[in-house]
A and B are shown apart, each in its own frame.
Chain A
Amino acid sequence: MELSGQNQDIKSARELGLVACTRCTKVWPAGTETCGRCGKHLHSRDTTSLQRVWAFWFVGFLCYIPANMYPMLQTRTLLSVQEDTIVGGAIELFHYGSPGIALIILIASVAIPVAKFLAIAFLAISVVRVSSVSMHQRQLLYEVVEYIGRWSMIDIFVVAIMSSLVQLNTLAAITPGRASLFFALSVIFTMLSAQAFDSRMIWDVQSGHSDTPDAAEGTAPSDRTAT
Chain B
Amino acid sequence: MREPSLPLDEMIVCPQCDAAYSLRRPEIGERARCVRCGTVLITPRRKAGMQIIALSLSVAILIVSATVFPFLTITAAGTSNSVSILDAALAFSDGPLIALALATAALIVFIPLARVLLAMYVLIPIVLDRPPARGATQAFRLSEAMRPWSMAEIFAIGCAVALVKITDLADVGFGPAFWMFAALVFLVVVQDNFLCRWSVWNSLDKTKT
Contact = CB atoms under 8 A, between A and B. Distances in A.
Interface stretch (B55-63, B165-173, B184-192): B165-173
Given A36-B207, A37-B207, A13 B13 contact: yes
Nearest to B95: A178
Contact of B36 (A7, A13, A36, A165): A7
Given A37-B204, A166-B166, A9 B154 contact: no
Interface in B127-169: 137-138, 140-141, 144, 148-149, 151, 154-155, 157-159, 161-162, 164-166, 169
A107 interface: no
Contact of A168 (B72, B81, B89, B161): B81
Interface stretch (A58-66, A113-121, A146-154, A217-225): A146-154
Interface in A155-209: 156-169, 171-172, 175-176, 178, 180-181, 184, 188, 191, 195, 199-200, 202-204
B37 A203 contact: yes
Contact of B99 (A146, A149, A172, A181): A181
Contacts of B79: 168-169, 171
Contact of A153 (B20, B80, B151): B151
A166 B169 CA distance: 9
B28 interface: no
A31 interface: no
Interface size class of A (residues with CB under 8 A): 35 or more
Given A17-B4, A25-B13, A37-B201, A162 B100 contact: no
A164 B205 contact: no
A78 to B, nearest CB: 10
Interface string B87-118: 11111101011011001100110000000000
Interface of B: 2, 4, 8, 11-20, 33, 35-38, 41, 72, 74, 76-77, 79-81, 83, 87-92, 94, 96-97, 99-100, 103-104, 107-108, 137-138, 140-141, 144, 148-149, 151, 154-155, 157-159, 161-162, 164-166, 169-170, 172, 197-198, 201, 204-207
Interface of A: 1-3, 7, 9-14, 16-18, 20-29, 36-40, 101, 135-136, 139, 146, 149-151, 153-154, 156-169, 171-172, 175-176, 178, 180-181, 184, 188, 191, 195, 199-200, 202-204
Given A14-B18, A23-B15, A39-B138, 13 more contacts: A2-B38, A13-B13, A25-B198, A25-B201, A27-B8, A150-B151, A157-B151, A159-B91, A160-B89, A161-B91, A161-B162, A165-B166, A166-B166
